[in-house]
Amino acid sequence: MSEDVHRVTKSNEEMKPSSAVASLHQLASLRLPSKMTQVTLSRVMRGLVPSETFTILWLDEHCNIRDIYCDHLCPRELCNHFTTHYFNTREEEAYEPHREFMRGVSRLDLLHARKDFQKTGLYQEFNRPMGFGPVVRLAVRRCGRPVAAVWMTRWIGDKDFSRPELARLQDAVPYMEHVLVGGLKRGECDAWSGESGWLVADTDGTVRHFTPGTERLLHLAADVPRSRAVLSAPCYEWAKPLLRRLATRVSALEAGRASGVPSQSMSNDSGQYELRAHRLQAGVGGASNLVGVQILRRVPLVLRALESPLAQTLPLREKQACLMLIQGLTVKAIASRMGISSNGVVQHVRSLYRRLQLHCREDLIRAMTS
């Protein structure tokens, strides 16, 4: 295992579970669209129970996978094989099939603990090539109807999920349901998420190269689920109209028919996006037909704060007060939500400012989102 992997594991283990619980409660209370919160949910859950990967499999009413989020950069071919061919067409090869688990009543399952798990196609074709060992899966349902399956894994040879960790996961499932079922409002996307990516495309919109993580951002910006039809389409056909429009704007700028940076803004339930394009420099042979595209994502300010390293250092109640301050709530509103008096909120806020050596809400926002 690499030093980077050890570093990630160590940082997750040092995060206080009480801080992760506060973040999870706050995330559920925001009632934001589910895809806007999945990155933050991943980091919060891995703070609650350390793991190397966190995966959300979005399901339709028949338990078929219609979309996937994974915070692990696994090979694209392997990920697509898993999504389009394994569970949706051959899931009966798993020990207790995916559909059987999702339609049952259990919230949590230690998949690797099953006697015949290492003989299944799931283990042989996906877990072992990726080096995954302990696997816990969680069922997210709404009124009994399957919505998503959440998988958390550790490397082969790492320690198993302990009983206290499994108890924390069991307690977290209802809050995950609130987060993943989606909310009633979008909220203002008032901060850059810190996520950005680059891709290279031809002027006809054919993708030639992605930097790591850009493919996921492009899917989110275009609001296109990772369905079988999408993943089987050659050269990202679903993205071509969007990329062609950007390439056309680059050509218009070069011809003097437009001014400014060729860009396009998009908004959906996963956030707000800005795509900026420019012509790549031509080689020795002449004009270039390649366009570079940068993708930037914008999310609500409180989501940035939830992911801040500073937030993980705060005691439970101070963290709750901190996140509500960033949302713009008054002392009276914070007191109502926390179930304490206004004087109690003032004491938490004073302690928070003293701990972080800050003096006002504006300083707090800068510190938690920089």
For residue range 204-239, list pLDDT tens digits in order: 999 999 898 898 889 889 888 776 667 667 778 889
For residue range 289-336, list pLDDT tens digits in order: 899 999 999 988 888 888 888 887 888 889 989 999 998 899 999 999
Is the whole model's pTM more than 0.85, yes or no? no
Count Cβ neighbours within 10 Å for each residue of 218-257 and write b for 16 or more, e otherwise: bbbbbebbbbbebbeeeebebbbebbbebbbbbeebeeee
Task: Look over the chain and give the mean of its residue pLDDT values, rounded to a whole number.
Answer: 84
Range name among 130-144, 187-201, 343-357 with the lowest pLDDT average: 187-201
Alpha helices in the chain (DSSP H): 3-14, 17-30, 34-48, 76-81, 87-90, 98-102, 121-122, 128-130, 163-181, 214-222, 228-232, 240-254, 301-306, 316-327, 331-338, 342-356, 361-369
The reported pLDDT for the residue numbered 228 is 63
pLDDT band at 12 (very low <50, low <70, confident <90, very high): very low
- What burial class does residue 110 get, using C-beta atoms within 10 Å of its C-beta: 0-12 exposed, 13-18 middle, 19+ buried? middle
**The two three-digit tokens of residue 97, written as one number:** 């099939």
Q: Which domains does the chain have, with CATH numbers?
A: 3-181 (3.30.450.40), 191-300 (3.30.450.20), 308-369 (1.10.10.10)
pLDDT band at 170 (very low <50, low <70, confident <90, very high): very high
pLDDT band at 11 (very low <50, low <70, confident <90, very high): very low
For residue range 242-264, list pLDDT tens digits in order: 999 999 999 999 888 888 889 99
Closest CA to 126 of 79, 177, 192: 79
Say how far apart CA 209 and CA 214 lie, in whole Å.
10
User: H/E/C letters for each residue in 135-163?
Assistant: EEEEEEEECCEEEEEEEEEEECCCCCCCH
